[in-house]
Structure 1
Amino acid sequence: MTKLSLQALNRATLERQWLLERRDATALEAIEHLVGMQAQSPLAPYVGLWTRLQSFQTDELAKLLEERRAVRGSMMRATIHLMSSRDFLAFRPLIQPRLEREVFQNMTYGRHRLEGLDIDAVLRAGIDRMTAGPATAVQLREHLGPLWPDREPAALAHAVRCLLPTIQTPPRGIWGKGGNPAMSTADLWLNSPVDPAASTDPVPSLERLVLRYLAAYGPASVADAQTWSGLTRLNEIFDRLDLRTYTDLTTGRTLYDLPTIPLPSPDTEAPTRFLPEFDNLLLSHADRTRWIDNQTRQQLTLQEVLTRGSVLHNGQATALWKQTKSKKTAHLEIDPITKLTRAARSAIESEAHNLLTFTAPNATHEIRFAHP
């Protein structure tokens, strides 16, 4: 098996993620290529699409959500993902085991709090409430609590959110708008039950899901795919597929990939890119050393890295960023997590100006490095 260095892995996955070169593609094509985008921070996908596409504008994604061609709902890792509606309908049943674990093994909302409960009756009651209109978590608790007065309303609402194919409806997730998350279901919002037949894939299945994952995140190990999806026991799925195998030069792990995709040269130049908080690039591998070296990781918690935007320079996470606004000025603070050369700082500052032109075109821009 061919051995791949961290540099080779880095460049291969950056190319799959459309981060070596911005692509001339639609937002919907990008969302489907990435098999969804983490969206618990509702506006993060806008930056994630801008950094990957040549001519993305905020109203393109807003229109997809308002026209119900894309949705934000509970998916991989039991977190909110932006998906195309057809992918949500097709793949949501495959992720159901992870969402069931989120309910029944949850220390806060599950276990003994749901023991002996007629879950089907709770779900029917949740559907009844959402049939009247999208419901916030508070409204679900207010509806469900009186029906089961001996149970915690928050646990009941959490079960509804996870066990049903719930979708957070606009204006949540619309650029320039806001509001508390309000939930509907796929049946109500998209007028269609979750159904693998809705997918554009030939055979919507765990096998197809793994192939889609490798096309966007490979080469990768079984553990990587399980980390991305939140599913377990994917070894047998990989065994049934006709895949190319590589060896991770650093760890000796077996990595899998689609046999039809060539790898770019490890020496390919990687431009500076700004990623939003919780970008799937940083969440979708069990071993994240292709993005951030162990020494840097030891200095930061994963939560610190994910809850702020990340700056990739030469393919590596080298800084964190956060944008704020005061009156007519947009402020972007860059916090280096590695030592930056003068050239690196210049490249990061240049791309920061591009980012602010996208996020705050009518404001005065101010960029500041947290450390000299």
Structure 2
Amino acid sequence: MTVLDARALGRAALARQFLLARTDAPALDVVTRLGGMQAQEPQEPFIGLWSRTRDFRPEILDALLTGRALVRLPLMRRTIHLVAAEDALAWHARHATMLRTKVLTVYRDELAGIDPDALAAAGRAVMADGTPRTTAELVGAVADRWPDRPRRPLGELLVSGVIPMVQLPPRGLWGSRAGVRNQTLAAWLGREVPPLPEDPADPVGQALLRRYLAAHGPASSSDLRAWCGLTGLPAAVKAAREELVAFRDERGRELLDLPDAPRPDPDTPAPVRFLPAFDNAILGYQDRSRIIDDAHRGLSVAGERVVLVDGRVSATWTLRGDTVAVTPLRRLSRAERAEVTEEGGALAAFLTGRESDRVALDAP
């Protein structure tokens, strides 16, 4: 069985994440082909799309959100994701048990003894009039039935555990600081969430597996689980295995992949790319060594924005006023510093909307 080292795996990931070369594909297609984008920080998907698509403009994503082609909702790992409307409908039932279990686990004591189905029915009754509500408004409308329960756990269970909900614009629009207003996924899209098929081969899980590998492969079952938050999808993996190819990484772990997916030469040049916080190009794996050193792994969950140099996390960045400030994590060559400065200048212009190319690149 072919062994793929970290560099080979990294180049495969970059190719599928549109980070080896920007794509001309429409933003909706890019989000769909990525299997969604992590979006708990509402402005970050704009940066992720700018780094992946040519001539991306913020109004493109705004129009997809207001036009209901993309939605923001708790899904993979119970984090807010930006996903295509069709994927939200197709995937939610497969994630429903995980979403409910995670809330009930986090608030084990506060929600002990509560009937989640009764809470869901009460919440649906409130939302039936079609009015978007904040979480506090929704909890306030049902709290008289559970007066001894803290409101935050009730709210978490309502909006991310027992009712498929979306966060409505203007939340998530360019430059908006709007708070969260919730609407049911079915009401927002005008279609009910289909029930999960009773099929031991787990067809929805198989679709998730294939979509994951298309965006992140080659990858292990533990990587798949880290991305979606589901428990490995063993039935789906078993059912789809004959259609897949297998490799091993340098630690001997089996990696699965789609037969015709891109696996570029490990020496393929990788341009500098600036990534947003919590980008799934990093978080979409349990083993992130293909793109980030173990010594820096904590950056991926701390909300740090990072810079890829030669395909690996090599710096962090932030916006200070109209300047993109870059802090290297290793010594950069003169050529690398020049490329970081050029790409950072283009990002500064995008983020500020001005003809700015201000970059502050720290030593080393």
Q: TM class, shorter-chain normalised?
A: over 0.9
1:246 alignment counterpart: 247
Check if 1:334 corresponds to 2:333. Answer: no
Equivalents in 1 of 2:96, 2:155: separation in Å? 17
Equivalents in 1 of 2:278, 2:111: separation in Å? 30
Equivalents in 2 of 1:151, 1:86: separation in Å? 35
Check if 1:104 corresponds to 2:101. Answer: no
Equivalents in 2 of 1:237, 1:204: separation in Å? 7
Q: Quote the offset at 1:73 in angstroms.
A: 0.4
Residue identity matched to 2:342: S
Check if 1:345 corresponds to 2:343. Answer: no
CA shift digits 1:97-130 (9 cap, x unpaired) = 2202212211xxx223222223223222222333
Return the match for 1:358 from 343, 350, 356: 350
| Greater Cα offset, 125-134 or 78-87 | 125-134
Equivalents in 1 of 2:33, 2:167: separation in Å? 22
1:157 alignment counterpart: 155
| Greater Cα offset, 223-232 or 236-245 | 236-245
2:184 alignment counterpart: 185
Q: Identical aligned pairs, as a percentage?
A: 39
Check if 1:113 corresponds to 2:114. Answer: no
1:194 alignment counterpart: 193
Q: Is the partner of 1:52 in helix, strand or coil?
A: coil
1:200 alignment counterpart: none
Structure 2, unmatched stretches of 5+, are 197-201
Q: TM-score, normalising length from structure 2?
A: 0.93
Equivalents in 1 of 2:100, 2:183: separation in Å? 18
Equivalents in 2 of 1:118, 1:294: separation in Å? 42
Structure 1, unmatched stretches of 5+, are 198-202
Q: Quote the offset at 1:194 in angstroms.
A: 1.2
Equivalents in 2 of 1:112, 1:295: separation in Å? 35
Return the match for 1:137 from 124, 135, 138: 135
- Give the paired residue count: 355
Equivalents in 1 of 2:258, 2:151: separation in Å? 46
| Greater Cα offset, 313-322 or 133-142 | 133-142
CA shift digits 1:136-163 (9 cap, x unpaired) = 2222232232331111111111110122
| Greater Cα offset, 282-291 or 183-192 | 183-192
2:2 alignment counterpart: 2
Alignment of 1:156-235 (within 5 A): 156-162=154-160, 163-195=162-194, 205-235=204-234
1:93 alignment counterpart: 93
- CA change 1:234–1:132 in 2 (3 A) is closer
CA shift digits 1:151-197 (9 cap, x unpaired) = 11111111101221110000000113221111111122111111279
Aligned-pair Cα RMSD in Å: 1.8
Check if 1:323 corresponds to 2:319. Answer: yes
| Greater Cα offset, 230-239 or 44-53 | 230-239
8 Å contact kept, 1:312–1:318: yes
| Greater Cα offset, 205-214 or 235-244 | 235-244
| Greater Cα offset, 43-52 or 117-126 | 117-126
2:199 alignment counterpart: none
Check if 1:35 corresponds to 2:10. Answer: no
8 Å contact kept, 2:345–2:356: no
- CA change 1:103–1:294 in 2 (3 A) is closer
